[in-house]
């Protein structure tokens, strides 16, 4: 067995040697986008209001709007490709998408796989949506109980380890929420911003978001790892800086009915034009 | 920490794409093992149930009553001609609401049939539809003269089926049955869609938490399924050999 694995490791070594050496910028993705005249952006299609489908099937939302701004600034056409949490990094790595703006939390192990240029464009914490009837008040109340979630969320393991929650993970939010309605679990665990907008939608009147959000973490958009410190990565850093300093994200937040976030306000003030106020 | 664990931890640091995390992290190893155990349980349950249903269905296909034949035909058309993934979702979410349930805390409604139960039912029924057709082909390969001979000896329909027709039909059916059961073992991965914690579910969870472990975990999946299917095929081949009747050529 060990022999097999070491053989595998040798093969791995050969395969990864090219990416390990790549230090100088080839700007492949940027050139590809420009030559093609089109940028393919991976966005969520099931995460209202960040990225979802309208009644005619088009993907709309806050992140598609951001993607549109990127395409317009680069002067190319925009193609939106729906991704889910469990495949978005692979799509980017393999070049099916050029850029990913898909509600991804910025995590160290993810930075090893995709290029996440700063500054973050949003933050969110982990929370649950649970029936008012159950009256949960703290995370410990969930110990040993089944909680529906989705595959690919980073906090699944964290809450399992920390509070002994029994995560039942589905492929998408629709199945997980359906399972909650069917009373197959006591709560639905997700990002607090999305739960907030679910509850505000009026379809979940008997439910609440009762806990203090945990692990408030920044969201990062991602470019291929090799582009992180090259033209495309730097350009996306600039886009995010501009969105903060010009208040674009705060406007989009209003447009899409996202609960106003203290983070965006703080970033807007911090990155505001220092001469404009004088 | 043993040398092997040390080696793979080091490998992961050196080559971030090849993180064999379940070889040195106890928690991840536990996830993979529990997934493997669930896959084996699912496979065994589904193989047995689908073969039993297949034998029963093939027998009922030859029933005198037109209604029984029509019901079996309807069953086969439904399960064979619709995707197993959709069946799983439909059974679990739609039919799952109508099964009796109990409630330990006033909210949770724990159905008597769990998601694992639905996976076993749905996948077995799916494979059984194919098994019925496989056994029917075997039964039709038994010459009419053989059956007539049995009847002329005064055997009842059930006796003829049990002692004469089915044992001969089985021998003809084994190669095709083999194929279908191999497919069934692989189809257990679809139970992933209704959150049955089988091997694919646990593997995806591992590589979602540790994106660096994706390639190694996919490799593990390939190796494990080749192994599981290999064991099944070996068993089936051994059975086929033992069932061989000299002179009865298949």
pLDDT in tens, A66-91: 999 999 999 999 999 999 888 899 89
- Following DSSP, what letter does each residue of A100-111 receive, concatenated? E-S--B--HHHH
Residue A90, phi-psi category: left (phi > 0), alpha (psi -120 to 50), beta (remainder):
alpha
Q: How many Cα atoms are found within 13 Å in the side-chain-facing hemisphere of A41? A: 30
pLDDT at A4: 54
Rounded-to-integer distance, Cα A231 and Cα A224, Å: 11
Interface test with B, best of A4, A5, A20, A160 (most B CBs within 10 A): A5
Please, are residues A233 and A30 in contact by the beta-carbon 8 Å criterion?
A: no
User: Which tokens is B52 given?
Assistant: 């039993």
Rounded average pLDDT over A138-166: 91
Q: Are residues A245 and A211 both part of a single domain?
A: no
Q: Are residues A100 and A149 both part of a single domain?
A: no
**Which of B107, B195, B210 lies at the smallest CB-CB distance from A131?**
B107
Q: Check which CATH number belongs to the domain holding A198 and give it.
A: 3.40.190.10
Instruction: Provide, as residue numbers in chain A, all residues whose Cβ is less than 8 Å from the Cβ of B23.
Output: 5
pLDDT at B249: 61
- Following DSSP, what letter does each residue of A117-167 receive, concatenated? -SS-SEEEEEEEEEEGGG---SGGGGTT-EEEEETT-THHHHHHHHH--EE
Instruction: Give the CATH number of domain B34-210; options: 3.90.1170.40, 3.90.660.10, 1.10.3720.10, 3.40.50.300.
Output: 1.10.3720.10
Q: Are residues A109 and A142 both part of a single domain?
A: no
pLDDT at B132: 95
Rounded-to-integer distance, Cα B85 and Cα B187, Å: 9
Alpha carbon of B208: minimum distance to chain A alpha carbons (Å)? 5
- The answer as to whether A131 is a domain residue is yes
- Alpha-carbon torsion B33, A168, A154, A52, what sign? positive
In the predicted model, residues of chain B with pLDDT beneath 50 are none
- Whether the pLDDT of residue A8 is over 60: the answer is no
- Whether the pLDDT of residue A7 is over 60: the answer is no
Q: Which of B17, B25, B11, B76 is nearest to B50 (CA)?
A: B76
Please, are residues A34 and A76 in contact by the beta-carbon 8 Å criterion?
A: yes
- The answer as to whether A35 is a domain residue is yes
- The answer as to whether A267 is a domain residue is yes
Please, are residues A13 and B15 in contact by the beta-carbon 8 Å criterion?
A: yes
Instruction: Provide, as residue numbers in chain B, all residues whose Cβ is less than 8 Å from the Cβ of A145.
Output: 108
Question: Looking at the 3D structure of chain A, how many domains does it have?
Answer: 2
- Whether the pLDDT of residue A57 is over 60: the answer is yes
Last residue of a domain, one of A191, A216, A241: A216
Which of A:93-112 have CB within 8 Å of B? 109-110, 112
pLDDT in tens, A248-259: 999 998 998 887
Pairing of strands A223-224, A114-115: antiparallel
A/B interface, count of CB pairs below 8 Å: 95
Q: Are residues A59 and A108 both part of a single domain?
A: yes
Q: Are residues A110 and A130 both part of a single domain?
A: no
Last residue of a domain, one of A198, A216, A234: A216
Last residue of a domain, one of A216, A233, A263: A216
Q: Hey, is A26 helix, strand or coil?
A: coil
Residue A110: closest C-alpha in chain B: B211
In this structure, what DSSP letter does residue B31 have?
Answer: H
Q: Which of A162, A262, A234, A194 is nearest to A51 (CA)?
A: A194
Please, are residues A106 and A120 in contact by the beta-carbon 8 Å criterion?
A: yes
Residue A75, phi-psi category: left (phi > 0), alpha (psi -120 to 50), beta (remainder):
left
- The answer as to whether A21 is a domain residue is no
User: Which tokens is B164 given?
Assistant: 């004469």
pLDDT at B155: 92
Q: Are residues A211 and A253 both part of a single domain?
A: no
Q: Which domain holds residue A259?
A: 28-121+220-271
Model-level ipTM above the cut of 0.85: no
- The answer as to whether A247 is a domain residue is yes
Distances in whole angstroms, Cα of residue A111 to Cα of each of A19, A20, A49, A108, B120: 14, 14, 26, 5, 39
- Whether the pLDDT of residue A20 is over 50: the answer is no
pLDDT at A107: 86
pLDDT at B97: 82
Strand order in the sheet with A59-60: A46-47, A51-53, A59-60
Q: Are residues A182 and A58 both part of a single domain?
A: no
Please, are residues B217 and B203 in contact by the beta-carbon 8 Å criterion?
A: yes
pLDDT in tens, A181-200: 988 899 999 988 889 888 88
pLDDT at A21: 44
Q: Are residues A87 and A153 both part of a single domain?
A: no
Cβ–Cβ gap A86/B106 under 8 Å = no
pLDDT at A34: 95
Q: Are residues A110 and A224 both part of a single domain?
A: yes
- Whether the pLDDT of residue A171 is over 80: the answer is yes
pLDDT at B78: 94
């Amino acid at each position: 067995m060990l022999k097999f694995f070491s053989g595998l490791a040798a093969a791995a070594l050969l395969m990864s040697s090219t990416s390990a050496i790549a230090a100088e910028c080839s700007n492949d993705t940027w050139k590809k986008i420009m030559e093609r005249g089109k940028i393919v952006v991976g966005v969520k299609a099931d995460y209202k209001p960040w990225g979802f489908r309208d009644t005619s099937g088009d993907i709309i939302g806050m992140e598609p709007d951001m993607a549109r701004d990127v395409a317009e600034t680069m002067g190319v056409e925009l193609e939106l490709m729906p991704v889910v949490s469990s495949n978005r990094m692979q799509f980017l790595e393999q070049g099916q998408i050029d850029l990913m703006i898909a509600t991804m939390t910025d995590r160290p192990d993810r930075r090893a796989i995709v290029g996440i240029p700063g500054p973050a464009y949003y933050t969110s914490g982990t929370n649950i949506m649970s029936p008012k009837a159950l009256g949960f008040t703290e995370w410990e109340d969930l110990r040993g109980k089944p909680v529906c979630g989705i595959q690919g969320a980073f906090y699944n393991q964290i809450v399992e380890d920390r509070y002994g929650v029994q995560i039942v993970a589905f492929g998408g939010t629709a199945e997980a929420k359906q399972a909650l309605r069917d009373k197959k679990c006591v709560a639905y665990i997700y990002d607090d911003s999305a739960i907030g907008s679910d509850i505000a939608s009026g379809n979940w009147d008997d439910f609440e978001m009762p806990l203090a959000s945990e692990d408030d973490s920044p969201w990062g958009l991602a470019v291929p790892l090799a582009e992180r410190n090259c033209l495309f990565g730097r350009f996306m850093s600039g886009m995010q800086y501009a969105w903060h300093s010009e208040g674009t994200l705060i406007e989009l937040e209003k447009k899409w009915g996202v609960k106003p976030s203290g983070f965006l306000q703080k970033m807007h003030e911090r990155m505001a034009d220092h001469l404009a106020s004088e | 920490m043993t040398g092997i664990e040390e080696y793979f931890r080091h490998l992961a640091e050196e080559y971030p794409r090849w993180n064999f995390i379940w070889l040195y992290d106890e928690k991840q190893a536990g996830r993979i093992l529990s997934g493997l155990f669930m896959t084996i349980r699912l496979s065994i349950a589904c193989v047995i149930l689908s073969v039993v249903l297949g034998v029963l269905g093939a027998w009922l296909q030859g029933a005198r009553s037109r209604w029984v034949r029509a019901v079996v035909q309807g069953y086969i058309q439904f399960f064979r001609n619709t995707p197993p993934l959709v069946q799983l979702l439909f059974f679990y979410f739609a039919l799952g609401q109508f099964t009796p349930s109990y409630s330990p805390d006033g909210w949770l409604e724990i159905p008597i049939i769990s998601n694992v139960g639905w996976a076993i039912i749905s996948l077995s029924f799916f494979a059984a539809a194919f098994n019925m057709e496989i056994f029917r082909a075997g039964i039709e390969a038994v010459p009419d003269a053989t059956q007539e001979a049995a009847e002329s000896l005064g055997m009842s329909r059930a006796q003829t089926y049990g002692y004469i027709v089915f044992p001969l039909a089985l021998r003809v059916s084994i190669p095709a049955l083999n194929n279908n059961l191999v497919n069934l073992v692989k189809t257990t991965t679809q139970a992933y869609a209704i959150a049955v914690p089988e091997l694919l579910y646990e593997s995806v969870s591992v590589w979602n938490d540790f994106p660096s472990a994706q390639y190694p975990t996919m490799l593990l999946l390939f190796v494990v399924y080749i192994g599981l299917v290999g064991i099944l095929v070996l068993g089936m081949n051994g059975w086929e050999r033992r069932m061989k009747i000299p002179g009865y050529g298949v």
